[in-house]
Amino acid sequence: MNIAFIGFGKVAFYLSKLIDGENINIITSAENRSDNTVELINKSDVEVYDTFKEAVEISDITVSLNSPSSALKVAHKYKDYCSGIYLDLNNISPETSIKISQLYDNFVDGAIIGKIDSLNPILYLAGEKAGDLLFLNDFLKVNIISNNIGDASKLKLLRSTYTKSLSALLIECTNLARKYCLDEEFFDILSLTEGDDFKEKSLSRINNTLNASKRKKDELEEIISYFDDDLIMVKAAHEKLSRL
Amino acid sequence: MNIAFIGFGKVAFYLSKLIDGENINIITSAENRSDNTVELINKSDVEVYDTFKEAVEISDITVSLNSPSSALKVAHKYKDYCSGIYLDLNNISPETSIKISQLYDNFVDGAIIGKIDSLNPILYLAGEKAGDLLFLNDFLKVNIISNNIGDASKLKLLRSTYTKSLSALLIECTNLARKYCLDEEFFDILSLTEGDDFKEKSLSRINNTLNASKRKKDELEEIISYFDDDLIMVKAAHEKLSRL
């Protein structure tokens, strides 16, 4: 079986390591790709074609591994060459999932959760053809959510409403505790109920958020506009990140 | 050594079970107390005096175990009878701690954290005389925060800023996930990073908050007014609980 990877960044690199079956051939192309990408391709065992078109054409499954902003363009570009399943793993919005699904007969909406670089992620899938990808369970954990295109993206957004707002809350509370010179005690007291790793985890969340506050603020903006619900806490998190 | 408990509710009942040393005599009174309190006294091994005044007078340590709203009145009432340490465990505000400290020579500001009924709480203490209570370490975990009266109360408020806002966030996120029929998946996906007990803990937090939303909203109001800081997330949590 051939699996074409359109794009070969970090996620693709680790996925190609995970999906390592005897009868599985992962192929990609270095066409118009950056030096970093070419380096990742060289470090892996995948087969390299001159163009993505060729790779897609001879594949049973095509996986789009690009960026949220280029996902729709990529989907348009290869729709006439893909006869098998087209799986999008670009962190796209539920709306974009639906748009892409209209271009392909066998579209699957996917999301990778967990740390890919520790080679222990979970692949969440949605769509009527998701069941055809269950064989991937031999290589990584695969969960099928539903037949509804967009549900994998939606689930990822729902997860973000929680994790990003939690980070904003942690920033607020630890700053307040620090102001009163009680931050060490704040972590100690909470580790009683939140677990021994509360401090370590919280500081890592805070740092990750502070280091990418603009991007996380933009992601919260997308979430707020997508769900169109009365999200008091999520809106406050957006406000908190805007003021950092 | 005699320890007087002014008040004998659930916390006092479990504390009297924990502090069970050979040379320690816990005493209290049923003076003007409710039937429930009298029942708890009868179920315990404490010594019962006719009045709290007598109990306080012969004690080395007096522990006030009433309610935040009655703490100051109780402190006034017994200030002329207490010659030893006066420990307040009423969940009072930092301001009330300071007021009470002005009535007693040997005041200690305390907070009990963790589940008292599982007999595994931690006693946080602040004040110059807190060190005199370190012998309680034989019976339960005792942590001294600082010499500053009010720090135990402050720490409890800081803890609440986090836990109460987190509950509000969980209510918002799970309601949103439920709206899209993805609540099971929401818990599953988050348990990957938040721990296997994420769902159970979250539902318990949500239920506790929904069952006492008015009280928790009032507590958040106190926190917001006490800290007088730009608490965007905590204010949003207050708003969230107000709308439940």
**pLDDT per position in chain A (244 positions), as tens?**
999 999 999 999 999 999 999 999 999 999 999 999 999 999 999 999 999 999 999 999 999 999 888 999 999 999 999 999 999 999 889 999 999 999 999 999 999 988 788 778 999 999 999 999 999 999 999 999 999 999 999 999 999 999 999 999 999 999 999 999 999 999 999 998 899 999 999 999 999 999 999 989 988 998 999 998 899 999 999 999 999 8
Same domain, B82 and B170: no
Contacts of B166 in chain A (CB under 8 A): 166, 169
Residues 6 or more apart in contact with residue A230 via CB below 8 angstroms: none
Between A and B, how many residue pairs show a Cβ–Cβ distance under 8 A?
131
Rounded CA separation A89/A9 (Å) = 12
Residue A155 structure tokens: 């689930």
Joined tokens for residue B2: 């005699």
How many residues would you count in chain B? 244
Q: Which has the closest alpha carbon to B140: B3, B10, B17?
A: B17
pLDDT of B165 higher than 90? yes
> Are B140 and B93 in the same domain?
yes
Q: Is A233 on the interface with B (CB under 8 A)?
A: yes
Q: Does B151 contact chain A (CB < 8 Å)?
A: yes
Contact A9, A117 (CB under 8 A): no
DSSP designation for B106: S
Q: Name residues whose C-beta falls within 8 Å of residue A115's C-beta, 6 or more positions apart in sequence.
A: A121
Q: What is the pLDDT of residues B2-46, one digit of tens each?
A: 999 999 999 999 999 999 999 999 999 999 999 999 999 999 999
Residues B51 and B139 in one domain: yes
Q: Say yes or no: A193 contacts chain B, CB-CB below 8 A.
A: yes
The alpha carbon of B4 is separated from its chain's Cα centroid by a whole number of angstroms, namely 18
- Compute the distance between CA of residue B61 and CA of residue B104 in angstroms, rounded to an integer: 12
* Closest residue by Cα to residue A19 from A87, A106, A76, A67: A87
Mutation target to probe the B interface, by most B beta carbons within 10 A, among A185, A197, A204 is A185
Domain boundary among A104, A131, A147: A147
Asked whether residue B110 carries a pLDDT value surpassing 90, the answer given is: yes
Q: For the residues B129-137, what does the mean pLDDT come to?
A: 97
Nearest to B233 among A143, A179, A240 (CB): A240
Q: Which of A112, A162, A179, A202 to mutate to probe the B interface, most B CBs <10 Å?
A: A162
Same domain for B202 and B110, yes or no, is: no
Q: Comparing C-alpha atoms, which of B153, B77, B70 is closest to residue B108?
A: B153
The Cα–Cα gap between B34 and B66 comes to: 12
- Residues B168-215 have pLDDT tens digits of 999 999 999 999 999 999 999 999 889 999 999 999 999 999 999 998
- Cβ count within 10 A of residue A10: 13
One-letter amino acid identity for B7?
Answer: G
CATH label of the domain that carries residue B83:
3.40.50.720
Closest C-alpha among A167, A165, A149 to residue B174 = A165
Do B76 and B164 fall within a single domain?
no
* CA angle in degrees (0–180, nearest 5) for B76-B79-B81: 135
Contacts of A234 in chain B (CB under 8 A): 172
Q: How confident is the model at residue B124 (pLDDT cuts 50, 70, 90)?
A: very high
| B59 lies in the same domain as B132 | yes
Q: What is the mean pLDDT of chain B?
A: 95
Query: Do the chains contact at B182 and A154, CB–CB below 8 Å?
Result: yes
- Residue A137 pLDDT: 96
Q: Which two tokens stand for residue B128?
A: 């110059």
Same domain, residue pair A27 and A127? yes
User: Looking at A147, A168, A199, which one is the last position of a domain?
Assistant: A147
Question: Which residue of chain B has the CA closest to A228?
Answer: B176
Alpha-carbon span A168 to B230, nearest angstrom: 13
Q: Which domain holds residue B213?
A: 154-242
Give the residue from B75, B114, B105 showing the smallest Cα distance to B92: B75
Contact B92, B100 (CB under 8 A): yes
Rounded distance between C-alpha atoms, residue A100 and residue A19, angstroms = 25
- Provide CB contacts within 8 A for B23, sequence distance 6+: B1
Q: Is A227 on the interface with B (CB under 8 A)?
A: yes
Cα distances (angstroms) measured from residue B29 to each of A85, B45, B217 = 77, 13, 34
Q: What is the pLDDT of residue B207?
A: 97
- Cα–Cα dist B164/B178, whole Å: 21
Q: What is the mean pLDDT of residues B56-81?
A: 96
pLDDT digits (tens, 9 = 90+) for A126-140: 999 999 999 999 999
Q: Are residues B55 and B165 in the same domain?
A: no
For B177-195, b/e burial (b = at least 16 CB within 10 A) is beebebbebbbbbbbbebe
CB B76 within 8 A of CB B64: no
Q: Give the strand pairing for A85-88 and B85-88.
A: unpaired
Q: What are phi and psi of B67, to 5 degrees?
A: -135, 160
Q: What is the pLDDT of residue B98?
A: 95
Q: Are B208 and B140 within one domain?
A: no
How far is residue A224 CA from its own chain's centroid? 18
Cβ pair B235:A236 closer than 8 A: yes
Is residue B35 domain-shared with residue B76, that is, in the same domain? yes
The pairing of beta strand A47-49 with beta strand B25-29: unpaired
Same domain, A23 and A138: yes
At which of B99, B130, B147 does a domain end?
B147
pLDDT score at B85: 98
DSSP, res A19: -
From CA B169, how far away is CA B165, in angstroms rounded?
Answer: 6
pLDDT reported for residue A91? 86
**Mean pLDDT, range B75-85, rounded to an integer:** 97
pLDDT at B118 over 90: no
Q: Does B175 share its domain with B128?
A: no
Provide the number of structural domains found in chain A: 2
User: Do A189 and B243 make contact, defined as CB atoms within 8 angstroms?
Assistant: no
